[in-house]
């Protein structure tokens, strides 16, 4: 049952020599062989011999008493992080053959902590999507299935859907994700795992392929809140190569889990009780409030009046930044080239063939709002509204320590649903986008199942650089919920 362990359990088992790092790695590689053809969670799998060689080195460190914090633990890496010598595609045809000669700061830190990379996980192309259906390498399947329905394929959420599916199904103990408007938290909720978006600037963005630079933030996707703290310790820290990276010290995040939360004030934003909110989501939210009240928290009603503008503001700022960031993929400087008779022709042919429909759509939106005559009307105004959204959070945190909200407006939906209506797809981020706009940390914790047997998550939002309190509250919520469900398609099924 090695693929059902948490990071913390696996580390303890390795230290006690109950099993070897080679055993652990082999179990996960076998699980990938068995289930990845169906789930499509990985775009690239690291060769078995490379993984096992690294596992043998980890075993030697355990034997010598020099094991590092993540020693020998199999981790999936979202295929947005550049990994030296391992293909990095951003799930796009335009980077189909890109093998970086360097390592991103986040993955370098995980390697330095002893992690074993087993593969590069699938995602929405260039992290643009909420369902992991826009990848050039095919859609990812959620390992959960509706009760009594083994036919309907469900989405895992996006854009970090491959990472979420891999962790939920036992194809990795944990995985990296990136969150621009909810891309860690929403798929974590859809797949019944824990997902943490740290404060903007807590983790370096260097070597991570950019979508929207003022929003992108790397974070851990794990099975427990304590695991999220452990992994964040390895990922976080100052990096002089990223001018937006904070030089604050990295706390012992994992130790925050289990601390008493008695006396903490928990805010309930009135604006998140949106019309049309699923009764099951609403009931789970009320249950979460009751659990935290029972743990000694004070429940306080708060207002975030500019929340209603969050989604519209996000879909101006993010596409604008994506338009700028993706301009470099022209077939000359970066990306696969399509030849044509003229330079303009090369640009047009390369980008038409290399980018998928969703990416082209967002580039066009972004180029439009940045164009002469529209910059002030759209982009500049959106930046002003973003300031107001951030101010709402700052003012709320003068009254409360954390906020509690739903993570997503629904459980996982079927592949093909909502695709005809892009606005409906964008609404999947309605509860996660405001925290991203404000740059504050937010954690999704699985707390129960809906009537169809699918996981539901609640979101804890905290002050800037106060991940410790977020993790403490998340740990208490996790303990109260006792979520121990596993998806239908798990590595041990059929093993």
DSSP 85-105: TB---TT-GGGTT---SS--H
Q: Which two tokens stand for residue 484?
A: 């121990």
How many C-beta neighbours within 10 Å does residue 102 have?
Answer: 12
* Residue 159, preceding peptide bond in cis (omega within 30° of 0): yes
Edge-to-edge strand list for the sheet holding 298-302: 42-45, 116-121, 74-78, 174-179, 217-222, 194-197, 442-449, 455-462, 402-406, 265-269, 298-302
The answer to whether the beta carbons of residues 440 and 266 sit under 8 Å apart is no
DSSP class of residue 270 equals G
Per-residue b or e along 67-98, where b marks 16 or more CB atoms closer than 10 Å to that residue's CB: bebbbbbbbbbbbbbbbeebebbbbbbbbeeb
Q: Which two tokens stand for residue 358?
A: 């969703």
Positive or negative CA dihedral for 51, 57, 63, 65? negative
CA atoms of 60 and 432, how far apart (whole Å): 43
CA atoms of 75 and 222, how far apart (whole Å): 10
Residue numbers annotated as active site:
78, 159, 183
The answer to whether the beta carbons of residues 445 and 458 sit under 8 Å apart is yes
Give the residue carrying structure tokens 């022709």: 345
């Amino acid at each position: 049952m090695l693929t059902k362990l948490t990071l913390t359990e696996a580390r303890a088992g390795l230290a006690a020599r109950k099993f070897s790092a080679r055993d652990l790695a082999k179990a996960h590689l076998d699980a990938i062989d068995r289930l990845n053809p169906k789930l499509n969670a990985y775009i690239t799998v690291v060769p078995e011999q490379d993984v096992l060689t690294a596992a043998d080195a980890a075993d030697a460190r355990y034997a010598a008493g020099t094991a590092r914090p993540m020693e020998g633990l199999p981790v999936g890496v979202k295929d947005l992080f550049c990994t030296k010598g391992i293909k990095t595609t951003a799930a796009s045809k335009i980077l189909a053959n890109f093998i970086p000669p360097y390592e991103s700061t986040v993955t370098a830190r995980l390697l330095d902590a002893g992690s074993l990379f087993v593969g590069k996980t699938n995602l929405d192309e260039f992290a643009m999507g909420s369902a992991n259906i826009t990848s050039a390498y095919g859609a990812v399947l959620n390992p959960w299935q509706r009760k009594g329905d083994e036919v309907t394929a469900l989405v895992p959420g996006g854009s970090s859907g491959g990472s979420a599916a891999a962790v939920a199904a036992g194809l990795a103990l944990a995985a990296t994700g990136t969150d621009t408007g909810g891309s860690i938290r929403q798929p974590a909720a859809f797949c019944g795992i824990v997902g943490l978006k740290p404060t903007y600037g807590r983790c370096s963005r260097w070597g991570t392929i950019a979508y929207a630079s003022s929003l992108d933030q790397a974070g851990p996707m794990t099975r427990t809140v304590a695991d999220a703290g452990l992994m964040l310790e390895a990922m976080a820290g100052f990096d002089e190569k990223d001018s937006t990276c904070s030089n604050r010290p990295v706390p012992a995040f994992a130790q925050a889990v289990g601390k008493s939360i008695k006396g903490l004030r928990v805010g309930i934003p009135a604006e998140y009780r949106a019309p049309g909110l699923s009764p099951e989501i609403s009931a789970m939210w009320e249950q979460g409030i009751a659990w935290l009240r029972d743990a000694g928290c004070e429940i306080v009603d708060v207002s975030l009046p500019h929340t209603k503008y969050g989604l519209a503001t996000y879909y101006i700022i993010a596409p604008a930044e994506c338009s700028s960031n993706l301009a470099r993929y022209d077939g000359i400087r970066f990306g696969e080239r399509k030849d044509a008779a003229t330079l303009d022709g090369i640009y047009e042919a390369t980008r038409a063939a290399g980018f998928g429909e969703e990416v082209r759509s967002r580039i066009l939106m972004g180029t439009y709002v940045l164009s002469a005559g529209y910059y002030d009307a759209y982009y500049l105004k959106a930046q002003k509204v973003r300031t107001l959204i951030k101010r709402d959070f700052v003012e709320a945190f003068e009254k409360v320590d954390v906020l509690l909200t739903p993570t997503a407006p629904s459980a996982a939906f079927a592949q093909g649903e909502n695709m005809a209506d892009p606005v409906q797809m964008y609404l999947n981020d309605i509860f996660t986008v405001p925290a991203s706009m404000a740059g504050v940390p937010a954690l999704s914790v699985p707390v129960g199942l809906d009537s169809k047997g699918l996981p539901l998550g609640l979101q804890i939002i905290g002050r800037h650089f106060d991940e410790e309190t977020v993790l403490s509250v998340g740990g208490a919520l996790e303990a109260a919920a006792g979520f121990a469900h596993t998806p239908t398609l798990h590595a041990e099924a059929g093993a």
